[in-house]
Structure 1
Amino acid sequence: MSLRVTFLGTSGAIPTTERNPAALFVSREGDDLLFDCGEGTQRQMMRYGTGFGVDHLFVTHVHGDHVLGIPGLTQTMDFNERDRPLAVHVPAGERRTAKRLLSATGDDPGFPVRVNEVRAGDVALDGDEYEVRAFDVNHRTNAVGYAVVEDDRKGRFDREKAEHELGIEPGPKYAQLHRGEPVELDDGTVVDPEEVVGEPRPGRKVVYTGDTTPVGSTVDVAADADLLVHDATFTSEREDRAEATAHSTAAQAGSIARQANAKRLALVHISSRYAGDVSGHEAEAAEAFEGHSWVPSDGETFDVPFPDSDG
């Protein structure tokens, strides 16, 4: 079951020739989700082949570098004769701003758009065997982060034991046991699911902070995350600037990942002052966090493995 992340925009407030403003595309088994939509996001979607099949757009906050791509994207959807609904999720109190963005060209989109205000703790989307949950972050405005959290998976089925020890012939009874239902054999013996099905296995978790200082709520939500995508606007020599603008340094992002026991850390929202040299970010994060950390390039994709895989 696929869970792919495409980094469409990894720059800070100002775009550079190499990095677009904030946008993260997540595709899970045919469900396409977009997190933030900075200026030029629709071109990034075309350039990197994600398509426009987004049904849910999750906005962390309404600063321009996270939302100025919305009017262009929805206008293009209109030109493509889209008719299915689009849900736009925004922090509580930002419905009016979202509505203004959607009608920035003077006309409302020709397809249904629902604006949904979310607060920390809300389930913004209850999907098929996964949820998108909002959590509290700390920025200079109404802001939330989002976590894509899959349901637990069924335990592993011990086919060897079922067939050779318990004498269950391959067939429908295997599926019945895997669904958690007991089965009766021809001799009247009843086999309970726990005899051949292991403990439930965790699904995957991807956490996206948007812009934020390092906060404990991220640690809580990102516990054991398979991928944490965290604000790392500056390196430590600009820590005072990070605090003043309610952002994080790469070292602080690494510390959050370490405290959360995350498996991987992607550093995003890189200030334009660092241009094409992100070696300082990667060195700082690596010193604070033993897991895999890196600064992704725009257009880079990452297929998130299951926690119990070798990926």
Structure 2
Amino acid sequence: MRVTFLGTSGAIPTTQRNTSSVFCNRDGDYLLFDCGEGTQRQMMRYGTGFAIDHLFVTHLHGDHVLGIPGLLQTFDFNDREAPVAIHTPAGTRGNVKQLIEANGTTPSYPVRINEVSAGDTVLDRSEYEVRAIATEHRCTSVGYVVAEDDRKGEFDREKAEEELGIPPGPKYSKLHRGEAIEHDGRTVEPEEVVGPPRPGRTVVYTGDTLPTESVVAASEGADLLVHDATFAQDRADRAAATAHSTAAEAADVARRAGVRTLALTHLSTRYAGQADTLGAEAREVFDGEVVVAEDGMERHVQFPD
């Protein structure tokens, strides 16, 4: 799983940072989270490609959605035929539709606008799902969790071959699938040679939010938490007034949730050239890995084991 930060600035772009967007390549499934102005150019610049079928919107502030019309128009120019699904918080479908049709045209391919609420399974695939989670901002908002299913336990080939005398072949596959086999006059249960299920990977993207218990709960044990970190701690009052988080508050969420890596994003333009200040504050609170996201940064999310 590879996560590419396409836009990491808060509210308005800078010469170094575009507005909010995060691209996730989950083993060939391309998922886009938020789509600030200029996102399509960032997708070209950082080589993610345009082959997305699902766009997940956290809320409708301009720095998270103004790139949608241009991206959809580019799809049209490229003769796209496949449908696109836009997932957006409950009650905002009409606004998204108006945004798409603002120039007086509609895409020639199907565009489905799906309203979601916290707790919904937004996308259900055979090996993973995307869920909406509750966040707290100045408007209707959600965050998203990409959560993989548990993987099969490790197969103990040495025990199967040397202790139980089972030769390599189809019986190994059956055991690894959880099926018992007959060998040398007895039944061999899968548990004898297959370990417990191993966890998949989990990525959490909050969008804009105050630090919330819902995000702590949804991020428990996550491999990557991408969290709003608009301000440094000396601007905590400003963060609270605008329903954002400080870097230290994001780090406290990461600490309490026990995540592996915290990525700070949506950085205020006041920290242009000083982003390390936010990283330093976060590291005082959270002793896991802290990265200050930058446009074009890629994170390869490894399996926990």
Q: TM-score range by the shorter chain?
A: over 0.9
1:64 to 62, 65, 89: 62
Cα distance in structure 1, aligned partners of 2:291 and 2:192:
43
Alignment of 1:78-157 (within 5 A): 78-157=76-155
1:60-112: CA deviation from partner (whole Å, max 9, x where unpaired): 00000000000000000000000001000000000001111221221111110
> Is 1:177 the counterpart of 2:175 in the alignment?
yes
C-alpha displacement at 1:127, in angstroms?
1.6
SS in 2 for 1:212: coil
> Is 1:264 the counterpart of 2:261 in the alignment?
yes
Gaps of 5+ in 1: none
Alignment of 1:234-249 (within 5 A): 234-249=231-246
Cα distance in structure 1, aligned partners of 2:148 and 2:254:
19
Cα distance in structure 2, aligned partners of 1:291 and 1:157:
31
Residue 299 of structure 2: aligned partner: 302
Q: When the two structures are superposed, what TM-score results if normalisation uses the length of structure 2?
A: 0.99
SS in 2 for 1:62: coil
Gaps of 5+ in 2: none
Residue 35 of structure 2: aligned partner: 37
1:138-179: CA deviation from partner (whole Å, max 9, x where unpaired): 000000000000000000000000011001110111010000
Cα distance in structure 2, aligned partners of 1:239 and 1:14:
20
How many residues are aligned here? 305
1:102-136: CA deviation from partner (whole Å, max 9, x where unpaired): 21221111110111100000000002310000000
2:104 maps to amino acid:
G
Alignment of 1:251-290 (within 5 A): 251-290=248-287
Cα distance in structure 1, aligned partners of 2:194 and 2:16:
49
Residue 212 of structure 2: aligned partner: 215
> Is 1:198 the counterpart of 2:206 in the alignment?
no
Question: RMSD of the TM alignment (CA)?
Answer: 0.6
SS in 1 for 2:243: coil
Cα distance in structure 2, aligned partners of 1:204 and 1:292:
16
C-alpha displacement at 1:189, in angstroms?
1.6
SS in 1 for 2:234: helix
Cα distance in structure 1, aligned partners of 2:111 and 2:12:
28
> Is 1:159 the counterpart of 2:157 in the alignment?
yes
2:9 maps to amino acid:
S
Q: Structure 1 runs of 4+ off > 2 angstroms?
A: none
C-alpha displacement at 1:297, in angstroms?
1.2
Cα distance in structure 2, aligned partners of 1:33 and 1:279:
28
CA contact (8 A) 1:134 1:147 kept: yes
SS in 2 for 1:288: coil
1:49 maps to amino acid:
G
Percent identity, aligned pairs only, is: 65
C-alpha displacement at 1:188, in angstroms?
1.9
